[in-house]
Structure 1
């Protein structure tokens, strides 16, 4: 299991301000944005940056850690060649793939998100269920984004960029009902 510590990571949420990452006066990517394919999120509505300042990678469930060559290549390209300054993993509440992860399955699609299903099972077994089903699902969506950020942090190209040039990683979750994103803040940062 690539991301077991995400289950026990204390964090808070705060609304993402549109100027969280200041725009620059260059048409060059400074942000790798990893988002979900079925999301209605417009990155430039969450952050006040020019489209040219974003390198966007989307797939089912904003998954990076499942060995997908496309995702790994996007990270390598954005971090190693484009030298982005930020990576944002942005999930969203009410994600259909998160709901699917509640059931173990043998279909081809399940191979895409099997690690998410394992994490979800551990999540369900790791705490008492005092919240509503919707609140529990929203909490898991946050934990899953933290897990993907944790996985990224351990990748050699990312780790090197963090150490040598200060690359920053961020976990966001978009709330469609409020039309805003929250940032998952670990350790007050």
Structure 2
């Protein structure tokens, strides 16, 4: 891995600008006109999670919110504002919660050793582990347990998205984005599209 110092980032920006202008002289003029991304991505803050790279998308295609362990907290005003803007103004067609294997926040919750603000933040994952402890502990290796917990965490956060007032208003209007849960396998670069219990959520009244 090549580590950049601060000045490298500025110089790389100038190189990138020249590359884009060589491809399309009006690139930045078009970019500045506005955005209409079809996707809202809620992902982990992990530095190995450049969602544009993994999905081969460019500026203007993804509306992105990231936090530690891709949490959807119903009291997080930052996330709720992003969600409301994405759904009601940008009118995104898809909402993707994207976690990953090898997540430090998930591991800290699993081991119960997170402290301070991080400990409070990942506590819902800790509770998720304890709720499913019998099943998770039956898996043969710790890595398998952590991977499965990452997947459970993603599904739980998709369910939380369905509980928000912004999504509830969208559901009542009859025009709403579809929801998806992804896990990125860092060892292979592949995205795992998780099956979601949508029918169960419909029966609970979380979505139409």
* TM-score normalised by L of structure 1: 0.77
Q: Structure 2, unaligned stretches of length 5 or more? A: 1-33, 200-208
Q: Which has the larger radius of gyration?
A: 2
**Residue equivalent to 1:120:** 129
Q: Against the structure 1 CA distance between its residues 128 and 108, is the aligned structure 2 distance closer, same or farther, given a 3 Å change threshold?
A: closer
The Cα RMSD (Å) is: 2.3
Report the Cα distance in structure 2 between the residues aligned to 1:79 and 1:60, rounded to whole angstroms.
Answer: 22
Instruction: Determine which structure has the larger strand proportion and give its number.
Output: 1
Q: Against the structure 1 CA distance between its residues 79 and 188, is the aligned structure 2 distance closer, same or farther, given a 3 Å change threshold?
A: closer
Q: Against the structure 1 CA distance between its residues 41 and 80, is the aligned structure 2 distance closer, same or farther, given a 3 Å change threshold?
A: same
Q: Indicate if the aligned counterparts of 1:30 and 1:54 stay in contact, CA closer than 8 A.
A: yes
Q: Against the structure 1 CA distance between its residues 120 and 42, is the aligned structure 2 distance closer, same or farther, given a 3 Å change threshold?
A: same
| Of 152, 156, 176, the match for 1:147 | 156
**Residue equivalent to 2:36:** 28
Q: Indicate if the aligned counterparts of 2:44 and 2:67 stay in contact, CA closer than 8 A.
A: yes
What is the CA distance between 1:147 and its match in structure 2? 0.1
Report the Cα distance in structure 1 between the residues aligned to 2:139 and 2:118, rounded to whole angstroms.
Answer: 31
Q: Structure 1, unaligned stretches of length 5 or more? A: 1-25
**Higher relative contact order, structure no. (Cα contacts within 8 Å, ≥ 6 residues apart):** 1
SS at match of 1:89: strand
Aligned residue pair count:
164
1:165 aligns with 2:175: yes
Instruction: Determine which structure has the larger helix proportion and give its number.
Output: 2
What is the CA distance between 1:126 and its match in structure 2? 4.9
1:50 aligns with 2:58: yes
